[in-house]
Amino acid sequence: MIDYRPLIDRWQGGDLDPWARLLPEQIARGLNPERYGDLPRWLQRLAELPELPVDTTALDCSRVGVGSRAAPVPATIEHLRATLQGLHPWRKGPFELFGVHIDTEWRSDWKWDRLVHAIDDLAGHRVLDVGCGSGYHCWRMLGAGAAEVIGIDPTPLFVVQYWALQKYLQRDEVWVLPAGIEQLPPKLRAFDTVFSMGVLYHRRSPMDHLLELRDCLRPGGQLVLETLVTEGGPGDTLVPEGRYARMGNVWFLPSCDTLTGWLRKLGFVDAQVVDVTVTSTEEQRSTEWMRFQSLADFLDPADSTKTVEGYPAPRRAIVTARA
C-alpha cells in the first residue's frame, strides 16, 4: 500500500545514495502511528479505495487526475468520493478522479499558471518540491517533462493523500516523502530545480532555509521560491507580533527587494521577481473538501485589505534565482 523500497533501491549507489541510507528511518518516523494517532484511520481509508480501470491520465491541466472510458458504477464512484472525503482536509489541488472533483482549499493551478512561463524548461530535470502538501505541483512538474520529482512534507495526512492519488496515477517518477528539508543530507547538490512555495515565512530563520535550498541545488540549478511578502524597499521586513491572518507560525514577511537581497547575500545569482499577487478569496477558500476556516475568515470583515490583526492582507511573490 505504501512502499518506498523501489525509490530507495533506485537511489543506491548514485548521487542520492546519502539520502537513500537515511530514508528508511525517516519514513518510519514520519509515518509512525504512535506519533500520529489519526494515521491508522487514514491508512484504512487508503486501503478502502476501490479498484478502477484507468484509461486516461491528465498531468498538464488544472485538474490533475485520471478517468475511464467505461462509465464506472455510480455506487462505486460514491464509495470513491466518500473514501477520499475520509482524508479531509484537502489543501492543495484541484484533482479529478473518475469524475470526482476534489475541490481543494487552494486553487494551486493558479499559482502554477503564474510561474510556469518564467522557470527553466523542466524536461529531463530532477526536481525537489519542498513543503509539497499532497503533491499537486509535483504532478504538474511531471506533466511539464521532469524526469524525477521528489516532494517532501512532514504532514502525514498529505503523504497519505499522495498515495491515494498514486493508486490511480501510477507514476514512479513522482514521490512524496514524509520529511522536512532539515532532514536531508547536507550539501546534497543533486537537483536541477528546487521549489519552495509557502514555506519561507514559517521558518524562524529564513536565511537558514535559503541555505538549505541552495545546498540541494546543482551548480547553476534554479530555485523557484514563493512566499508572503510586504510592500517596501530594501531592508523592509514585517515581523508580526503574535498571529498573522490567524497563523501563529509566521515569522518574517520581507519586501521583494529585501528577499532578493537575502538571496544575493547567500551566493545566489540572477534573482528575479516573477510575480506579485494579492491572494484572493477565490484562490483560497473553504470547500466541501476543506470545511475549516479559510482566507475570508482571516481578513478584517470591514476592510479586506487587512488581516483580522490589522496587518496588510496576504501578498505573495514568486522569485527565481540560481545557485
As for how many domains the chain has, the answer is 1
Phi, psi of 134 (to 5 degrees): -80, 0
DSSP label at 64?
E
Containing domain of residue 254, as a range?
5-322
pLDDT number for residue 319? 98
b (16+ CB within 10 A) / e for 188-199:
bebbbbbbbbbb
pLDDT number for residue 312? 98
Amino acid at 87: L
pLDDT number for residue 251? 98
From the list 60, 322, 21, the residue with the least C-alpha distance to 194 is 322
DSSP label at 229?
-
Q: Are 154 and 180 in contact (CB under 8 A)?
A: yes
267/308 Cα distance (integer angstroms): 37
Q: Residues near 145 by Cβ (< 8 Å), separated by ≥ 6?
A: 121, 122, 123, 124, 125
pLDDT number for residue 32? 97
Burial class of 301 by CB neighbour count within 10 A (0 to 12, 13 to 18, 19+): exposed
Write the CATH number for 279. Answer: 3.40.50.150
- Residue 224: all three cell numbers together: 523557484
DSSP label at 240?
-
How do 191-197 and 217-228 pair as beta strands?
parallel
Q: Are 206 and 254 in contact (CB under 8 A)?
A: yes
Q: What is the pLDDT along the chain (323 residues), one digit of tens a residue?
A: 899 999 999 999 999 999 999 999 999 999 999 999 999 999 999 999 999 999 999 999 999 999 999 888 999 999 999 999 999 999 999 999 999 999 999 999 999 999 999 999 999 999 999 999 999 999 999 999 999 999 999 999 999 999 999 999 999 999 999 999 999 999 999 999 999 999 999 999 999 999 999 999 999 999 999 999 999 999 999 999 999 999 999 999 999 999 999 999 999 999 999 999 999 999 999 999 999 999 999 999 999 999 999 999 999 999 999 99
- Residue 46: all three cell numbers together: 487508503
Q: Are 101 and 94 in contact (CB under 8 A)?
A: yes
Task: Count Cα neighbours of 121 within 13 Å in the Cβ-side half-sphere.
Answer: 2
Question: Per the confidence metrics, is the pTM higher than 0.85?
Answer: yes
Task: Count Cα neighbours of 263 within 13 Å in the Cβ-side half-sphere.
Answer: 25
- Residue 310: all three cell numbers together: 490589522
pLDDT number for residue 72? 87
26/140 Cα distance (integer angstroms): 26
Q: Residues near 303 by Cβ (< 8 Å), separated by ≥ 6?
A: none
From the list 239, 235, 241, 242, the residue with the least C-alpha distance to 256 is 235
Residue 319: Cβ within 10 Å count:
25
Orientation angle between helical segments 136-143 and 108-115, nearest 10 degrees = 40
Q: What is the CA radius of gyration of the chain?
A: 20
pLDDT number for residue 256? 98
pLDDT number for residue 1? 85
